[in-house]
A and B are shown apart, each in its own frame.
Chain A
Amino acid sequence: MEERNLRNDLNVSGMSQTAGGNFHRVSIDGMAKVNGNLDCTSLNVNGTLKMHGALSSESATINGMCTLNGPLISSRVRVDGLTTINGDLRSPELEVNGKCTVRGRVDGERIDIGGVIDIEGDVQCESLNVQGNIKISGFLNAGTVEIRLHTSSSAKEIGGERIDIRRKEQTGFWKSIGLGGTPSFKTSLIEGDEIVLEDTEADIVRGSKVHIGRGCNIRLVEYSGELEVDPDAKVGSSQRI
């Protein structure tokens, strides 16, 4: 590949439409439409970007609005605005503080969610840290999962090493407006080594060290090491295997 820093920059400050191509730094401050694939070192969106094609960028920061009709491949993605990706997302680092919708699978190393994320495919990463709202319609496979529940979140199935889902005490403001419902997590299956759950509704939980905390409703727990159940939790049946 040619040296990236020898390429031209692309700056959009007003309204513009381009065919895509290879650039060094891309910055969108106005409204832009890209009708093709875009390959760049960095992408900065402060306005609105609509893409029809694949985006590959070493780093991508989205503060405005962005709609991608194609896959996104990057090494660092930060979404502070609103992003919709109609394709797969592959990035070792993903940080979402705004709202992000992915209609495909997500592959990463570290995923940090402070806002809202909605993923229609499977998720695979080493560590997932959520302090907001997450909805995964596929399978979540992660080394460590740490979810602090603010609102209602869900995943179809979870598998991993350490899985920690707990309620985050809401303070005055958020509690009084009651946005997004009561904190809860819904899933059909959780499998891991160390599992700590609160406010979780699940069909089956399997693990070696399992702690079922307050507000849980689990149909079946299978454990090989130890099991602790909070008096405020409902467990249909538990079985040592």
Chain B
Amino acid sequence: MTDDLISKKELLDLTGISYGQLYRWKRKNLIPEEWFIRKSSYTGQETFFPKQQILLRIDKILNMKDGLSLDELADVFSPTLGEVEMSAQELLERNIVSNISLELLKEAGRERPLYALEQIMMLYVLDKLLISGDITRQEGSLLIDVMSEHYYRFTGKPSELVLIRKMGVPSFMLVTAGTELYFDNGVKVVLRQPMGTFMEELKLKLG
């Protein structure tokens, strides 16, 4: 899977932001360094960005910068987890997760009196994917497994969630963002989503 790239010039044209703004956001860590992809072109070196991600991010920054300071925005976008603890009751009341995912968690025997951000994140992802119909309940318990066992390894690093199916057998993977993955013909990639997007949404809900 190769992401569409957009050149810096096209990006500025499309979004109407200036070089100054782009560099300021980079300095404030609103745009991660690894999105600046250097490639040689006929005019010399050019900088490209992953199109989907950067457009989404700039749109978010432009929409939110009136309400929040740049530093607060940086917190929302940073891949690191903050200090939060919530009970199942609170999570339900604040509409962050629904009963289905909490029940699944109970079945998997991973219930806790209080959930840290890492687990809230897992519940949130689970909930979103279940409700959107992208995954089944059975796949949901696989997701709980992979996220509770391995998500901590990606602390502070961008990661992606991948779901593949082969002959009806599903399998979840957590991989470093931007990893190239190739499969044999029978494998269908059902879903591949950056965890960062979930984290941003969740942080806004929690914030």
Contacts and interface: CB of A to CB of B under 8 A. Distances in A.
A189 B45 contact: yes
Q: Is the interface of B mostly helix, strand, loop or mixed?
A: helix
Contacts of B63: none
Contacts of A142: 27
Nearest to B19: A191
B9 interface: yes
Interface string B62-86: 0000000000000000000000000
B23 interface: yes
B20 interface: yes
B26 interface: yes
Contacts of A192: 19-20, 23
Nearest to A157: B45
B27 A193 contact: no
B43 interface: yes
Given A193-B18, A208-B18, A141 B44 contact: no
B31 to A, nearest CB: 11
A204 B24 contact: no
Contacts of B19: 159-161, 191-193, 206-208
B9 A141 contact: no
A161 B20 CA distance: 4
A173 B2 CA distance: 60
A143 B25 CA distance: 10
Nearest to A143: B24
A84 interface: no
B9 A241 contact: yes
A193 B43 contact: no
A188 interface: yes
B27 A124 contact: yes
Contacts of A141: 23, 26-27
Nearest to A124: B27
Contact of A188 (B22, B26, B45): B45
Contact of A161 (B23, B43, B44): B23
B46 to A, nearest CB: 10
A203 B18 CA distance: 20
B11 to A, nearest CB: 12
Categorize the interface residue count of chain B: 10 to 19
A14 B163 CA distance: 66
A125 B43 CA distance: 28
B23 A160 contact: yes
B20 to A, nearest CB: 3
Contacts of B22: 159
A220 B43 CA distance: 10
For A191, A192, A220, A241, the residue with the greatest tally of chain B CB atoms inside 10 Å of its CB is: A191
B23 A191 contact: yes
A160 B20 CA distance: 5
A236 to B, nearest CB: 12
B44 A203 contact: yes
Given A193-B18, A241-B9, A204 B23 contact: no
Contacts of B9: 206, 241
Contact of B24 (A161, A203, A207, A208): A161
A188 B13 CA distance: 22
A56 to B, nearest CB: 20
A188 B9 CA distance: 17
Interface string A184-218: 00001101110000000001101110000000000
Given A143-B24, A192-B20, 19 more contacts: A124-B27, A141-B23, A141-B27, A143-B20, A159-B26, A160-B20, A161-B19, A161-B23, A161-B24, A162-B20, A191-B19, A192-B19, A192-B23, A193-B18, A204-B44, A206-B9, A220-B43, A241-B9, A241-B13
Q: Closest 3 interchain pairs by CB?
A: A161-B20, A193-B20, A159-B23
28 contacts: A125-B27, A126-B27, A141-B23, A141-B26, A141-B27, A143-B24, A159-B19, A159-B22, A159-B23, A160-B19, A160-B20, A160-B23, A161-B18, A161-B20, A162-B20, A188-B44, A192-B19, A192-B20, A192-B23, A193-B20, A203-B44, A204-B43, A204-B44, A206-B9, A206-B19, A207-B19, A220-B43, A241-B9
Interface of B: 9, 13, 18-20, 22-24, 26-27, 43-45
